[in-house]
Structure 1
């Protein structure tokens, strides 16, 4: 039962990141008109750096795909983790109204990292 729940949660999580990454290339979701001024400035700065949004979009797509496939989920969780931290910090500092969803994303990512901790141990041991 736990594996089925984990799969469904990972499927939704991965699809959300794939959708977000594709939107960075195809721009099919409109930008909300009621964004706080601070967030508009942040997004304008990100767009000014021409390579940043395509990089984030590619990482989201690749990480989302890997997150869905059980064999590669551990790698997907590591790839997506910096993006989730960025989402969390953005909502803590700029748009606190989105903090609940950011915390849910962090919890899902940490759950998958915890479930795959045995796969990360050789990497940690090798660096000690």
Structure 2
């Protein structure tokens, strides 16, 4: 049962990442009207660095695909980890209203990492 729940959450997490990545390329999601000014300033600063958002988008798309596939889930967690650190820091510093969702997403990511912990041992030994 635990494995089924993890698989379902991993697919949902992967789809969330795919949506975020593709939205950065194709701009099909409207920007919310009630964004905090500090977050809008951060987003504008990120857009000044021409290669940054495409890089994050590729990481989200690649990480999302890898997390959806059970065999590559551990690699997907490694790919998406730096992006998730940025998401957590952004919400902690300029948009705390999104923190509950960040906690849920981080719980899924940490569960994926915990369940695949044996696969990471060669990286640290």
TM-score, with length taken from structure 2: 0.98
Residues 7-65 of structure 1: per-residue CA shift (max 9 Å, x gap): 00000000000000000000000011111110110000001111000000000000000
Report what 2:53 is aligned to: 53
Report what 2:25 is aligned to: 25
Is 1:72 paired with 2:75? no
Which 4+ stretches in 1 moved above 4 angstroms?
none
Structure with bigger RCO (C-alpha 8 Å, 6+ apart): 2
Report what 1:85 is aligned to: 85
Q: Aligned-pair RMSD on alpha carbons?
A: 0.6
Structure 1 spans left out of the alignment, 5+ residues: none
What is the distance in 2 between the residues matched to 1:83 and 1:111?
17
For this pair of structures, how many residues does the alignment match?
125
TM-score, with length taken from structure 1: 0.96
Is the Cα–Cα contact under 8 Å of residues 85 and 106 in structure 1 kept in the other structure? Answer: no
Which deviates further from its counterpart, 101-110 or 7-16?
A: 101-110
Report what 2:5 is aligned to: 5
